[in-house]
Structure 1
Amino acid sequence: MQGTLNEIDIRSILQLIELGQRTGELFVEAHSGLTNTALAESNRSLLSSGGFGYPSPAPQPDERFWLVFAIDGRIVYAADRSNNNLLRLRDYLRFYQVESALDSTQVPLPSANPLEYACLWGLMENRILTPARARNIIKNTIEETLFDLFNLPQGTFNFEMGPALAPHLTSLEISPLTAKIVKQVQQWKQFYPLIQSPNQCPVVTDRDRLQQILPETTLANLESWADGKTSLRQFSRYFNRELLAVSGAIYPYIQQGWIQMSDGCDGMPTAASEADPFGIAPLLVPSEQEPHQRAPQVVCLDDDTTIGKTVEYMLVPKGYRASALCDPIEALSQLFREPPDLILCDLAMPNLDGYEICAMLRNSKTFRGTPIIILTGKEGFIDRVRARQVGATDYLTKPFGEEELLMLVEKYIGLPEIAPPPVLPSE
């Protein structure tokens, strides 16, 4: 699948990837100078070279390149491949105060994955970055990349089916993600023409007027950052806040002419205070107690209460939240009220069996991406095939041990970010 953005827009391309549940890489070029044949050849050269190397032919100054990686119709990573550096990742690491660790991170060479992505894994393997923080960075980079692509007026694209990006740490459903980015783009246009690009840098031009309305400390921090060298996008990365929030906070001052936007950013951080110059409440999660770093929730649906309690005793000490539900009818209502991160579902239950429950959940958009693991005491091949046909992610044969259960749970929802609770669930 390849063509120009005059023929089909980025959103429609992503919808086709989602509907077809395709796995591969979407390569987008802002400059339309390459033919489709040359684009495809450049893409293959780029992917086979690894790292952040330029495709062939070498890009011109006005050319930009992006890659979006998809697995089974979901986005797992996205990157701006125009620059051969790690400045974006360094900006995100700055929020967690570990950016200096990037200089000593060892990345296996040659790496089949983009350099930025490989470095993220290296930081996790060295326990410098937790999986939850890495997932947050990947989510932010995906949204940042799509924001740029949705603002792209013209260009060429090529989607090439291929092996999945491995290993992948997270995946985002395309439909709600694109709806969110479209809304952001519409809101962003309200800042035009005073703010024209996320890469523009604010600079204080009327200190006296700002001094009349801002506390002295806030003004001092604002002057340290808004010096014409740090872009709006870097602000959003440094403080882990959405671009629209950062831009909206200073937009009234830009309207008054007290702050102006400069195109002369050098992309390097200034030696300013780490204090928040705008006083915006964090829109993304900066601390361990915030929602995105809550313990993953696992629900076990089994009419045998012993199985449910066993699951709780195995998972809760490891840092997961776990609960047991016995009645399949009542369970469906509770699942929709509080969707968990993973569902363990018994195969043989009264009123509704595991096949029917799994099929019903998969028909809902809410549970389309939720891992559902079938629990069964049967070893039959037919049961496993049928479970796959109704949308089960995997199966676990009873009786099972703690190691087997933990292996499956970690495989599909990862390790918990927060510390495990000190006590076991009560009887």
Structure 2
Amino acid sequence: MQGNLNEIDIRSILQLIEVGQRTGELFIEAYGDRITPNRDIDPSLGLHSSSSLPTRSWFIFFLNGQIIYTTDSNNDLLRLRDYLYRYQVAPTLDNLKLSCSQANNILEYTYLWSLLEHNFLTPSQGRRIIHSIIHETLFDLLSLHQGTFIFESGFALAPQLTTLKISSAVIKTMQQMQQWKQLHPHITSLHQCPIITDKLKLHQYLPASTVQHLEHWADGKTSLRQLARYLNRELVTVARAIYPFIQKGWVQLVSPPTNSIAAHTENLQLFSPAKTLKIACITEFSANSQVFKSVLSQYHQQIEAVFFENAATALSQVFQVKPDLIFCDLATSSSSLDGYEFCAMLRRSSLFRATPIIILSPQSLYIESIKARMLGATDYLVAPVTETQLLTLLEKYLNFPSIIDYPKLSK
């Protein structure tokens, strides 16, 4: 199967591969010297700025109609380094040695697997990175209208860590593209780099710690796409977070510097979390434990998680652990001490007067939530906890990750 993108679009090609449950690889090429602005790529997506772009190409690898991995024509490891930053293993790439046979394979994918084999990454982290790379590539490709494609059936890319369903990935990406277009014309390119122009105004609307983090990233050298990679966030989420400040003129977007590779590497080396955060999880329910362990293990170099089956056991050890955040079930069958009493006892100690304590309850009862707060709970959450809820709470109470959804400002 082959042809031109002005005859059949990328979405239709992917649908044919999914319906046919094809295994093989799709090669897509867009010719920069033939690109006419407003024709090849939707300009509101900011994927190009002139007709002089070099040729770009992509490979998408499939197994039984699902996506295994995607690559582009940038034959380097900068994209992978960006994603590895979140797990603090980017410098490890420089120390990995590949055999000759490995080096002939897809470089980025091979290095990713090498990191997994040497236990620098967990399988869960590897899957997250691959899914992010796939969505990023689809964001670029689904706006293409001119170019050529060739699909060749064959053996699947091996080994496989994960696969992604085409239809759900395309729907998600199309929604993001629509949201991205709404930011136009204030944000016109994912390669634009934010820079602060009025720090005083930002301090009036944001906590000092948030402004400090924003100052680091908004350096005029780090693009919106790089920010999304570093922070493990969707591109649209990051762009919408700073959009109100761009509207106000407190943050401006500039073109990336010519020495962007050097600036990119320098930025990764300058910033690292100040300390390891400690979280205590007091729960005997497997659904909660699985979510906590699955999510927190992905940030094991930044977060140390301690688990207790009941409040009585936790109370005897929590003063030694000194957690920065505590999750506690409202009631446990193996302890006479419930979450209310545990919370009240901790609040009597000066050591835990300011520590966020989240009460987990299987029921959404208004009376219980009021009682929990009266006894000192910081928040009340209905279990079982979801991954999104947990990440939101980490962001809310520990400023983790460092960029949050900023408050909406009046126009």
Equivalent pair of 1:113/1:165 in contact (CA under 8 Å):
no
Partner of 2:83: 92
TM-superposition CA deviations, 1:359-378 (whole Å, max 9, x none): xxxxxxxxxxxxxxxxxxxx
Paired with 2:236 and 2:137, the residues of 1 have a C-alpha distance of 15
* d(CA) in 2 for partners of 1:292, 1:26: 34
CA contact (8 A) 2:191 2:256 kept: no
Q: Aligned pair in 2 of structure 1 residues 157, 78: CA closer, same or farther (>3 Å)?
A: same
Distance apart, 1:288 and its partner CA: 3.9
Could you say which residue in structure 2 is the equivalent of 1:127? 119
Distance 1:156 1:195 in 2: 29
Change (3 A) 1:184 1:207: same
Correspondence list, 1:40-189, <5 A: 61-81=53-73, 83-111=74-102, 112-189=104-181
Distance 1:32 1:213 in 2: 43
Structure 1: stretches of 5+ with no match in the other structure: 35-59, 277-285, 294-427
| Residues 205 and 154 of structure 1: CA distance in aligned 2, closer, same or farther (over 3 Å) | farther
Report the CA distance shift for 1:211/1:291 in structure 2 as closer, same or farther (over 3 A): closer
Give the Cα–Cα distance (whole angstroms) in 1 for the partners of residues 87 and 180 of structure 2. Answer: 27
1:28-427 aligned at under 5 Å gives the runs: 28-31=28-31, 61-81=53-73, 83-111=74-102, 112-265=104-257, 266-267=260-261, 268-269=264-265, 270=267, 272-274=270-272, 288-290=293-295
3-state SS in 1 of match to 2:152: strand
- Whichever residue aligns with residue 174 of structure 2, its letter is V
Distance 1:244 1:218, change over 3 A: same
Answer yes or no: is the 8 Å Cα contact 1:31–1:63 preserved in 2. yes
Q: Taking structure 1 as reference, are residues 224 and 200 closer, same or farther at Cα in structure 2, changes over 3 Å only?
A: same
| 3-state DSSP of counterpart to 2:182 | helix
Report the counterpart of residue 12 of structure 1 in structure 2.
Answer: 12
Distance 1:177 1:252, change over 3 A: same
SS at match of 2:139: helix
Query: Offset of 1:7 from its aligned partner?
Result: 0.7
How far apart, CA to CA, are the structure 2 residues paired with 1:126 and 1:143? 26
Q: Which one-letter code corresponds to 1:220 in the other structure?
A: Q
| TM superposition shift of 1:273 | 3.8
Amino acid at match of 2:9: D
Separation in 2 of the partners of 1:190 and 1:275? 33
Aligned pair in 2 of structure 1 residues 275, 104: CA closer, same or farther (>3 Å)?
Answer: closer
Runs of 4+ in 1 over 6 A off after TM superposition: none
- For 1:127 and 1:20, locate their aligned partners in 2 and report how far apart those are by CA, in whole Å: 36
Give, in whole Å, the separation in 2 of the partners of 1:287 and 1:103: 32
Counterpart for residue 22 of structure 2 = 22
Query: For each residue in 1:118-137, what CA deviation from the matched residue of structure 2 results, as whole angstroms up to 9, or x when unmatched?
Result: 00111111111111111111
CA contact (8 A) 1:32 1:156 kept: no
Is the 1:221–1:275 contact (alpha carbons within 8 Å) kept by the matching residues of 2? no
- Retained in 1: the 8 A contact 2:33–2:54? no
Quote the Cα distance in structure 1 between the aligned partners of 2:216 and 2:85: 17
TM-score scaled to structure 1, two decimals?
Answer: 0.57
**CA offsets, 1:363-398, max 9 Å, x none?**
xxxxxxxxxxxxxxxxxxxxxxxxxxxxxxxxxxxx
RMSD of aligned Cα (Å): 2.3
1:21/1:262 CA distance change after superposition, 3 Å: same
Aligned residues of 1:221 and 1:273 also touching (Cα < 8 A): no
For the residue of structure 2 that corresponds to 1:264, the secondary structure is coil
- Cα drift, residue 184 of structure 1: 0.9
**How far does the alpha carbon of each residue in 1:146-185 deviate from its partner, in whole angstroms, 9 at most, with x for none?**
1111122422211122221011111111111111111111
Gaps of 5+ in 2: 35-51, 275-290, 299-411
Q: Secondary structure of 2:93's partner?
A: helix
- Distance in 1, matches of 2:112 and 2:91, equals 13
1:224–1:272: 8 Å Cα contact kept in structure 2? no
Displacement after TM superposition at 1:106 (Å): 2.1
Structure 2: how far apart are the matches of 1:131 and 1:108?
22
Structure 1 residues 288 and 196: CA distance shift in structure 2, 3 A: farther
Distance between the aligned counterparts of 1:223 and 1:275, measured in 2?
15
Matching residue of 2:286: none
SS of the residue aligned with 1:28? strand
Question: Letter of the aligned partner of 1:28 in structure 2?
Answer: I
Paired residues of 1:221 and 1:272 also in contact (CA < 8 A): no
- Measure, in 2, the Cα distance between the counterparts of 1:192 and 1:256: 15
> Contact 1:32 / 1:155 at 8 angstroms: preserved in 2?
no
Structure 2 CA distance for partners of 1:160 and 1:180, relative to 1, 3 Å: same
Seen in structure 2, the aligned counterparts of structure 1 residues 192 and 62 have a Cα distance that, compared at 3 Å, is: farther
TM-score (norm 2): 0.59
Letter in 1 for 2:81: R
Output the CA distance in 2 between the equivalents of 1:14 and 1:287.
Answer: 35
